[in-house]
Amino acid sequence: MSSKIDLEPAGALIALDFDGTLSPIVPDPAQARPVAGVVDSLVRLAGQGARIAVVTGRDARTVLELGGLARIPGLLVSGLHGAESWQDGELTTRDEPPGLAALRTALPPLLPAGVWLEDKRLSLVVHTRRAERPDEVLAELTGVVPQLAAEHGLDAHPGKQVIEIRIPELSKATALQRLLVDGVTGALYAGDDLGDLPAVQAVRRWSERSGRPAVTIAVGAVPELVAATDAALAGPDELAALLADLAAG
C-alpha cells in the first residue's frame, strides 16, 4: 500500500494490536518490544488530537511495561480481549471466569514436549512455536483443547502457533465497540492474526453506519485477515513507517 493513508489524525481513533503489530513475534513473549520509533509516532499523533488505543490479548499492565507505552498522552489499553481496560493509571478488570482454575490443572499433562501454557489470569494460551513441529502439534491440539475448554464454559481460539482460551462473550470487537464513541471522526485498526478479525469487522460496521472514514490493516500474511482488510503490510516495521508518515502530515 501507499505510505500515505487518507485519515485526519485529529478526532480519529488509532487502535492497534501489540504482538505481531507494534512488536515482532518473538519466541519468548516477555522479550517483545515495539519496533524503533513507533511509540514516538504515537506520541506525536496523540498530540495532534488522535485517540490512541492498544487492543491486545495480553494483560494491560504487561503491555504497558514491555512497550513503554504509558508516555502516550490519553492512551487506552484494552487487555485480554476487552476483559481489562487501563487509562490514566487506573485499571478496571473482570473477575476470573469459572472453569479457568480447573483448566490450569487439566491442560499441562496433555501438552507435548516444547509446548507451554501461558497464564494471563483471565485467559490461558497454549503456545506451540517452541515445539519440534509447531504447526502439526497445533493441528493436533486443536482437536483436543477446544473441547476441553467448552467443558469448562470457555472458548478456544486458534491463532499463529497458539490456542487462546478465554471468556466466551469477549473479543477484540467488544473492545472496539467501546472505543468507537460519539465524537470519533475516523478510525484505523491494525492487527496480525485471526483474533483481530472481529475488530476489523467492528470497525467496518461502524464506518458503514456512521459514514465516517476507516482504514483496516493486516500486518503479516494471515490469509483470512489479509482478505478482510483494506491493506496488508509485511510486518511491524512497515506499520511503524506508515504511522510516522501519518504523524508527519
Which residues does the annotation mark as catalytic? 17
- First-to-last CA distance in the chain? 17
Cell of 111: 501438552
Cell of 178: 467501546
Cell of 191: 492487527
Cα–Cα distance for residue pair 124/170, rounded to 1 Å:
14
The residue written with cell numbers 516444547 in the block is: 114
Phi, psi torsion values for 214, nearest 5 degrees: -145, 145
The secondary structure of the chain in percent helix, strand, coil, rounded to multiples of 5, reads: 40, 25, 40
Residue 159: C-alpha distances to residues 1, 48, 129, 193 (Å): 25, 35, 11, 6
